[in-house]
Amino acid sequence: MSRFHSIVSRREFMKGLGLAGAGFGSVALVSPNYHDIDELMSSSDASWKRPWYVKEKEFDHPTIEIDWDMMKRHDGRLQGQAGYTKAQYYGKDRVVNANAVGAPLQKARQDANQSGYRLRDDALYAGATTTNTIQRKPGDFGWAGEFNLAPTKTPEQLGVPKWTGTPEEASKMLRAAMRVYGASLVGYGEFTSEIRNKAVFSYEKGGANSNSYIDKWPPPESVARPIVYENVDIGYETSTKLVIPTKEMWEVSVSTQGSNELFRRSPAWGGFANRNTFMNVGNINACTQNFLRMIGYQKIGVVGNATPNQDATHFFAGGAGAILNGLGEASRQQLYTISPEYGAPGRLYDFVTDLPLAPNKPIDAGIFRFCHTCQKCANNCPAEVISFEKEPSWERPVVNGKEAIWTVQGTKAFIMNGPGCSLWASESGSSCNICWGECTFTVNHGAMIHDVVKSTIATTSLFNGFLFSMAETFEYGQKDPESWWDLELPFYGQDSNVLSRHGAYR
């Protein structure tokens, strides 16, 4: 059992929670009444009880099939959003001119005073963009805490032993802490040799999206750094590499919730709906970094899309960790991972730590099986880039005569045309994201019928076609943006009570 609570003051402990002296954002707005780590671990935020119909699978055997022999480390610079990637399929001229094509369309909507493009709509998005910049840049402490703005003391500096406990106790403790910092779902996995050598990106995305590298590929390593392994005890970063220790470590997969009602106002509010999922990532990242630092462990990786000098720093596609570590299942749309609790809207991140944790198993809630029948996202995709195939495939799709280079090998998946999606959004003058709001699992939680439907989907596939058609009949999906202004919604427009089981929240 931990002795941490008996030798660290409450003030120092609250610093470890990231709720004192952090000096930015909304970290200091709320101070939960936890007096020590043992009290934190006994809180309702510590445990994770899934709906009864969610079944566990064997480790490394999620509902989407994986062939580790086929898989290799994907180059994180080759994203569907990257100018270089898009140019391989649609040509440089079209890619470079895409925003110029879309801008007049956007202005015409504004000039016509269309719903979703009026002044207050634009102001809502602009305000979120400001907050988003604060949260994603100063709020991010770097790959392994190098840019920590307000570091907590380490156990050595405090003159006390580091926290110790069983992996189960550690898992419960870290989930409780991250939930109180703003995380929605938190899952764990062993950082195995397969994950290290097959799933982790060989390069970060970094600034590789820029069109300036279409004719100068690859970009310099100062723009998008390689992710390497070294025989060191502490992870670190330089201007040209990101380093993970070769010693035993554990993965942490985390999701931040999105707002169903914002995604339902896409494409006009697609950009704002996307921004909304970033609103608290700076706090989660900074607070978790300092919490682990104070109890004697390290956090390597970024919860958020940017470090101070980079655009995006990720271990691997967030869906991989989320699926393997039990947060959710793969989808037809491919980019989003669907969880039983939240559906599609949300943001996924991963980091590793040397705090020993108890792994979570992949889950089966019938979600990916349902996607085989349901084509709602594909039916509503204006760019027509989501697969209509009845079965997933090991083969990578061919676009304009060239095989897909933006997607990972080794999964039997429905593959979305990422470059086509990104290009359509630019040329249409919108951020789109229609598919997120159209997903059959993007539902609110007040009506009991949704739990009945989810449990039916998890239990049998016999009614999948009927349930898909009912979602179409009841017109779940896009709504007039103007109607949003009359809604009274929870904080951030997100239902944070979905996982609450104590304190009379449900």
Residue 178 CA to residue 57 CA, distance in Å, equals 25
pTM of the model: 0.87
User: With the CA atoms of 369, 457, 494 and 311 taken in that order, what torsion angle do they form, in degrees rounded to the nearest 10?
Assistant: -10
Q: Are 145 and 303 in contact (CB under 8 A)?
A: no
Instruction: Look up residue 19 and give its two tokens.
Output: 């709720």
DSSP classification of residue 485? G
Q: What is the pLDDT of residues 447-482, one digit of tens each?
A: 555 676 777 777 767 666 666 666 666 657 889 999
Q: Are 353 and 300 in contact (CB under 8 A)?
A: yes
Residue 286: alpha-carbon gap to chain centroid: 16
Q: Are 432 and 424 in contact (CB under 8 A)?
A: yes
pLDDT of 23 reads: 42
pLDDT of 355 reads: 98
Q: What is the pLDDT of residues 108-124, one digit of tens each?
A: 999 999 999 999 999 99
Q: What is the pLDDT of residues 5-52, one digit of tens each?
A: 434 444 544 444 444 444 434 443 334 455 555 655 555 444 578 888
Place of tokens 């020993």: 356
Crossing angle of the two packed helices 119-136 and 281-295, in degrees rounded to 10: 20
DSSP string, 257-271: E--HHHHTTTTTTHH
More confident call, 325 vs 21: 325
Q: Are 39 and 379 in contact (CB under 8 A)?
A: no
Q: Are 58 and 49 in contact (CB under 8 A)?
A: no
